[in-house]
Amino acid sequence: MNDPLSVVPTSFFDRETLSSFDFYNVKIESLPIKENLVPKIVKAKFAKCGLKSIPEELFSYVNIRELDLSDNHLSDFNSYNFLNFDHLTKLDLSFNMISNVTCMMPKTLIILDLSFNQTLDIDSVWNLAVPMLETLKLNNCRLKNLPETTPKWAQTIKNIQLDGNFINHIPNCLQKFPNLEDISLFGNMIGKASIKSFDHPLRSLNLAMNMLESIEISEIELQILNVSYCHIKQVSQNYMMIDGLKVLHLNNCCISGILDIELTENLAIFNASNNKITGVSETFANSITRLSVLNLSNNEIESLPDSFQNCICLSQLYLNHNKLQKLPKSIMHSKLMEKFIVSHNYLTCLEEFHFPQLREFDVSFNELTFIPDSFEKSSYLISINVSCNFLTDIPHSLISCRKVITLYANNNLFTSLPACILSFAMLRNLYVSGNQLTSLPLSLSSFFFLTTLDISNNHFQTLPSFTENFFGLKFLNASHNLIGDISDGNVKFPNKLQFLDLSFNLIKTFQSSTLSQLNSLALDFNQLESFEIQPTETLSILTVSNNNQISVDINKFMNDFPNLKTIEAFNVKNIIDNRTVPFFPSITFKSQNTNSSVENNINATLNCLNNENNNENNSYINDYNSNNENDITKAENGSRKSIINNLHLISSENDIFVGDTIYGIGYSSTIGVRQTMEDSIAIHSDKNVSIFALFDGHAGSSASIIAASMIKNEVAQIENPDSDFSKIFLNIQNKLRSNHVVDGCTGIISLIINDICYVAGIGDSRVILIRNNEVRRITKDEKPLDESEYRRLQEIGIGVSSDGRVQRKLSVGRSFGDFWCTQELFLVPIVTSFHITENDLSLILACDGLWDVSKDEEVAKIYRSSKSAQDGATFLKNFAIANGSQDNISILTVDFHPDNSQTGFCSLNLIERLPIIPEKDSENDQPLCLSPPSPGKRRSRR
C-alpha cells in the first residue's frame, strides 16, 4: 500500500543547468539519453520509485559518482551493470530485496550501503572485489554472525556498520581489518563483550542498545566508546584504562547511586544522562580537568560537591532534569563555558558566574527569584531561557549581550518588559507568555529582525498599536488575553505574518486587510459577531469555534481562501454549506437492540450523537461522482461533510457534540510552526456516555481524520465495554487498510460510561489523570528506543536506526496505518479502566506536541490553577508553543467535578484585568540600537 507514484515530466530533462537526477516517490517510465547531459550528471537518486530493475538508459550516464537506489524492489542485477559507472564511489542499495550480491562492482567504489535487505547472504558481500572500499553498511540485515574468512576488501575498510542485527558477540574477523577505524554494533544481542586489543588504534566502537551488563577491557587504544541503552549498573574505573579515550557515552543505562570514578585527562566528553544517579563524589569532581562536555541530565542528583576547581576546560554543562537545590561555586567559573543548561531543578538561587564564552544559558523551570548580574563579559550569548521561575526582572548586565537571538521568559512575574531586552537589537524570537503583561514598550517596534512574538497567557486588552512595525514578524501568538475588537483602524498586522493566534479573547469584530501571507488564523473562543479579512491563497487553517453569534459560510471561505484545508467551526450560530457531498465508503451500523438497562442508556445517548438523519445517506449515494475518488479515499460516511474537496470541517454536526453533560470540557489546538495540521479529534459527551479521542497524524492527515470520524459509530456498537472497547482500535486499523490509506497516526481514546472511565492508546500521544495529590500516567509512550519496544520490532523484522527511527522514517513504535512499513506496527492496546471518585479531578489527553516540552507534573500544576477546562486547555497549548514545541499541538481536557456553570464548553473569559502600563517608554527604556547593525562589524560593548 504505497503512495500512487507521479510521473516525471519530460520537460524536467530539458533544463540546461541539470547536474543530477534526484527522484523520490516518482514513476520512472523512461529516462532519456541526452548527449549534453551525459557528461554533466554526476549524482543520481531514484529512491522509492518502485523499481524492479535499473533503467537501462541510466547506464549511459557513465560519469555518475554517487548512485542511490534505496527503497525499491530490486532483487538481483546483471553481472556487469555497475561496471558501466567507471567513476562510481558511493552506491546505496538499502531497503530492497537483495539476497545475493553476485554482480561485479567498479573498483572505484568507496561506500556501499546494503542495509535493510533482510535476506542478504553475507558470504556474497565478503566475496565482492572492491579494492578501494572504505565504508560498508549492513544495518538491519538480520545477520547472526560474520564469516571468519578474510574478504578481498579487508585492507581498505575503515568503517563497518552492523546495527540492528542478531549478533551476540564482537565478531573476531574484525581483527583482520588492519585499517578499521569505526565499528558500530548498535542494537544487537551482545550479552558479554570483551574488548580485545587491535593491532592499530580504533576511532569509535558503538555497542549501544545491547544486553551488556559489563565489559571486559584489555589493552586497547580507542577514542569513542558508546555503551548507551545497555544494562550497565555501575560505572567501572576500567573504562578509564582505555588508552586515548576521549568520549564515553553511558546514557540510558541502569546506573544508580553515587558516581565515583576518576576521569582521565584525555577524556573530553562524558555522557551519563537518563540514569538514576543521585550524586557524584569529590574524586569525580576533582578529576574534571580537561573535560569539555559533562552531561548528567535526567538523573536524580540532589547536590554536588564544591570540588570543581579544576574544570578549566568545561564548555558544555548539562544538569537539567535533576533535583538540585543549589549549584557549587566552583562550577561557576569555567572561562570556556558555552552551554550552561540547568533547567528543571529546584534551584532557588545562583552563585555569581564568569562565562565569557557563553552562547546558551538555560535556567528555566526552577524557583529563582533573581539571577546574578554576571553577564558583563558574555558578549557571545545567543539564547537565554529563564522561563517558569519567579522573576520580576532580569539582570541589567544583559545589555552587554547584543547578539541575543532568542529569549524565553515565559511564566514569570513580569508586569512590564524588562528594560535590558531593548538592547537585543538582533532579537528574532521573543517569548514572554504567562506573565502579567498588559502592554509592550514602544521601542520594541524598532526590532527589525523579530520573526516570532509570543505574548499569550497575559493580560493584554489591546494588541500593541505598533504591531505593523514588526516588518519581519511571521509568528504572533496573543491567545488567552483580554483583547477586544480588531480592525485596520486600531491595529494593522505586518504583511509577512503567517501565524496568528487570537483564541480565547473578547473579540467581537475582526477586520484586517494586511494578512496576505497568513497560513493559520485562530479566533476560537471569542465573542465573534463579524469576520472579514482580505482573500488570500495562503490560508490553510481557520478556527472560529465557540463563537455562538457568528454564521460560518463555507462556500465564501472556500472562494476567498482556495487553499484552505481545515476549518474548526463547532458551537457557532450556524454553518452555511452548499457544497456537493460525495458518497464515502460506508460504515456498517450495528442495529441498536438493547438487552440491559446499561445498554439502553448507552444506545439512547448514542442515538442522539448520531445526528438523527441516517436516512441522509441515500441522498449522498445519489450524489456520488466517480471523479471525486481522490477525496473519497480520505473520508468516512460518519463524517460525510467533514472532508469535501480536500477541506476538513470540524463542526458540531460531524466531530464534536456536547449535550447534557456533567463534565467540563476543554479543547485547544494549533498548527504551530508546521505548515500543515495533521491532528484530528472527536468529542461526544452526554449525560451517560462521553467519548474523547485524539489522533496525531504523520505524513498526512487522512488516517487521523478517518479515525476520528469513526469513533461515535464504533462506540455505538459496544455491548460490553470491558471486552469491546479495545475492538475500536482494531476496527479503525481495518478501515484504514480497506481505504488504502498511506499515512498513519497515533491515537488515544477515553470512554466514560456513568462513573467508569476506559482509556487506551497507541503511539506516543498520552493521557494523564490529575488527582488531588498526585498525577497518574494512564497510557504508555511507545518509543522505538524503549528496549522492550525495540526488541519487539526487531523480532518481527522492523529495523530501528540509532536515532530512534522505524525504518529510518517513523519516530513512534506503534501506530494506526503506516502500511508502507508493515501492519505489525499496530497492536491492539491494553485498556485501563477506573471508577471516577472525588479524588479524581481531571483527565488530559494530548499529543506529543505538549509532552515533548512538558513533564506530567508541570502540566498538572498549571492545569490545577486554571479556571475551567477550556481555560486550562488553551493555557497549556500556549505553554507548549512558548516552550519551543516544534509540532502540531492538540489538547483535550475533562473536568470530572466542575461547577454547574462550567459544564460542557465554558468559554467564559475570567482572566484578571490589570492596570494597563502605557506603551510609552520610560527614560531608561530607550533601545541601544534603532537600525539594523552593519554586517561584519563588531559592535562595542558597554
Burial of 103 (0-12, 13-18, 19+ CB in 10 A): middle
* Least confident interval from 286-290, 748-752, 828-832, 864-868: 286-290
* pLDDT for position 643: 52
Distance CA(623)–CA(627), nearest Å, equals 11
What's the residue count for the chain? 942
Residue showing cell 529563564: 386
Kindly tell me if the per-residue pLDDT of 875 is higher than 50: yes
Q: What is the pLDDT of residue 627?
A: 32
pLDDT tens digits for range 828-856: 999 999 999 999 999 999 999 999 999 99
Q: Which of 79-93, 225-239, 613-627 has the lowest mean pLDDT?
A: 613-627
Residue type, 622: N
Instruction: Name the E strands within 281-368.
Output: 293-295, 316-318, 339-341, 360-362
Alpha-carbon separation of residue 478 from 268, 461, 670, 881 (angstroms): 44, 10, 13, 11
User: Which CATH number covers residue 10?
Assistant: 3.80.10.10
pLDDT by residue (tens digit) across 100-126?
A: 998 999 999 999 999 999 999 999 999
Q: Is 392 inside a domain boundary?
A: no
Give the 3-state secondary structure of residue 428: coil
Between 614 and 512, name the one with better pLDDT: 512
SS3 714: helix
* Domain end point (choices 157, 174, 202): 157
Query: Closest Cα to residue 679, out of 745, 731, 632?
Result: 745
| Confidence at residue 745, expressed as pLDDT on a 0 to 100 scale | 97
Residue range 448-467, pLDDT digits in tens: 899 999 999 999 999 999 99
pLDDT at res. 44: 96
CA dihedral 271, 192, 799, 136 (to 10 degrees): 90
Mean pLDDT of the chain: 89
Q: Residues near 803 by Cβ (< 8 Å), separated by ≥ 6?
A: none
Residue 302 lies in a domain: no
**Confidence category of residue 178, pLDDT binned at 50, 70, 90:** very high
pLDDT at site 921: 58
Q: Which pLDDT belongs to residue 411?
A: 98
Mean pLDDT of 551-570: 94
Residue 431: inside a domain: no
**Which pLDDT does position 278 carry in this prediction?**
98
pLDDT mean over 647-675:
91
Q: Mapping DSSP to helix (H, G, I), strand (E, B) and coil, where does residue 609 land?
A: helix
* 129, HSE (Cβ side, Cα atoms, 13 Å): 9
Number of folded domains that form the chain? 2
What's the whole-number mean pLDDT along residues 747-755?
Answer: 95
Of 157, 180, 205, which residue constitutes the final position of a domain? Answer: 157
In a domain, 70, yes or no: yes
pLDDT mean over 474-486: 97
In a domain, 823, yes or no: yes
Query: Can you tell me which residue has the cell 456520488?
Result: 624
Q: Decide which of 157, 181, 214 is a domain's last residue.
A: 157
C-alpha cell at 419: 528594560
Q: Which residues are 113's β-sheet partners?
A: 92, 137
Which residues lie closer than 8 Å to 725 by C-beta, 6 or more apart? 718, 749, 751, 758, 760, 831
Three-state SS at 68 = strand
Residue 3 lies in a domain: yes
**Amino acid identity, position 384:** I
C-alpha cell at 653: 454536526
> Burial code of 530-552, b = ≥16 C-beta within 10 A, e = fewer?
ebebeebeebbbbbbbbbeebeb
Is the residue at 358 inside a domain? no
Short-list 179, 269, 289, CA closest to 223? 269
Name the CA dihedral angle for 634, 639, 643, 644, rounded to a multiple of 10 degrees.
110
Residue 878, number of CB atoms within 10 A of its CB: 29
Confidence bin at 604 (pLDDT 50/70/90): very low
The domain that holds 786 is classified in CATH as 3.60.40.10
pLDDT in tens, 224-257: 999 999 999 999 898 998 999 999 999 999 999 9
CA 760, CA 834: separation in Å to the nearest integer? 12
pLDDT in tens, 120-158: 999 999 999 999 999 999 999 999 999 999 999 999 999
Say what the pLDDT of residue 881 is: 97
Residue 539: per-residue pLDDT: 96
pTM: 0.90
With a pLDDT cut of 70, the percent of the chain lying above it is: 90
Residue 608 inside a domain? The answer is yes
> How far is Cα 818 from Cα 820, in angstroms, rounded to an integer?
5
Least confident among 166-170, 186-190, 263-267, 613-617? 613-617
User: What is the rounded distance in angstroms from the CA atom of residue 184 to the CA atom of residue 715?
Assistant: 48
Q: Comparing 142-146, 528-532, 925-929, which segment has the lowest mean pLDDT?
A: 925-929
Query: Model confidence over 7-49: pLDDT tens digits?
Result: 887 778 888 888 999 999 998 877 888 888 899 999 999 999 9
CB-based burial label for 383 (10 Å; 0-12, 13-18, 19+): middle
Is the model's pLDDT at 500 over the cut of 50?
Answer: yes
- Mean pLDDT along residues 755-783: 96
Examine the pLDDT at 754 and tell me if it is beyond 60: yes
Looking only at the bridges linking them, the beta strands covering 247-249 and 215-217 are unpaired
In the predicted model, is pLDDT for residue 617 greater than 90?
no
Give me the half-sphere count of Cα atoms (radius 13 Å) on the Cβ side of residue 196. 10
Residue 587 has pLDDT above 80, yes or no: no
Determine the average pLDDT of the residues in 712-726: 90
The domain of 725 spans 579-647+674-905
Query: Is residue 596 scored above 90 in pLDDT?
Result: no
